[in-house]
A = this chain, B = another copy of it.
């Protein structure tokens, strides 16, 4: 397989799902994504309808369509597709993580607002990230309890769980970050720039 013109993360997402779950409709992909990576890496459903046809054009998948009823389109990965994923798996992604946080962007510009602006932003973001963290942790504990009754889960689910674990760790870091911001901005009247670093021996 000579280098197919650069595939995007979206391409590999779709290829990977097709490889793992077998022939799928875009809707099935959507479901799968929403339950896992979709929590912190959004792939709007239109993307998952648009990507498979691209893969077909590249010979990495094939398409069949129902003739009656919903006329669902089902996509199947080709051997070329499988080998594309496998090669990609072994090619280290040097593209670094994109951490696109609108709240952080606001904080970055907080000095352009009024004196209360930073506090408002921080309070909001703290609430948002705490909620998200809680959601992750609840999901994790419900997973665990299912496993508790049913015994060990397969390796597949375990890998799925990993992505959420990263999400959890990120949210924990985010909560810690915003809490730190909150304490620096606590209304002792001092603006963040006024304090010393390491005010206490850590």
A contacts, CB < 8 Å to B: 9, 12-13, 16, 19-20, 36-37, 40-42, 82, 85-86, 88-90, 92-114, 117, 120-121, 124-125, 128, 132, 144, 147, 152-160, 162-163, 165-167, 169-170, 172-174, 176-177, 180-181, 191-194, 196-197
Find out whether the CB atom of A162 lies under 8 angstroms from the CB atom of B181. yes
- Majority-rule SS of A interface residues: helix
Given A112-B20, A162-B181, A172-B173, A117 and B89 contact (CB-CB distance below 8 Å): yes
Find out whether the CB atom of B121 lies under 8 angstroms from the CB atom of A106. no
Instruction: Give Cα A180 to B128, complex, Å.
Output: 26
Find out whether the CB atom of A86 lies under 8 angstroms from the CB atom of B102. no
Find out whether the CB atom of B93 lies under 8 angstroms from the CB atom of A106. yes
Copies in the assembly, this chain:
2
Contact of A16 among B96, B109, B167, B176 (CB under 8 A): B109
8 closest Cβ pairs, A-B complex: A155-B193, A93-B102, A16-B109, A92-B124, A158-B193, A98-B100, A40-B99, A173-B173
Find out whether the CB atom of B9 lies under 8 angstroms from the CB atom of A99. no
Contacts of A97 in B (CB 8 A): 40, 99-104, 170, 174
Contact of A108 among B42, B88, B155, B163 (CB under 8 A): B163
Q: Which of A90, A99, A144, A160 has the most CB of B within 10 A?
A: A99
Contacts of A96 in B (CB 8 A): 40, 128, 132
Instruction: Give Cα A104 to B36, complex, Å.
Output: 12
Find out whether the CB atom of A98 lies under 8 angstroms from the CB atom of B155. no
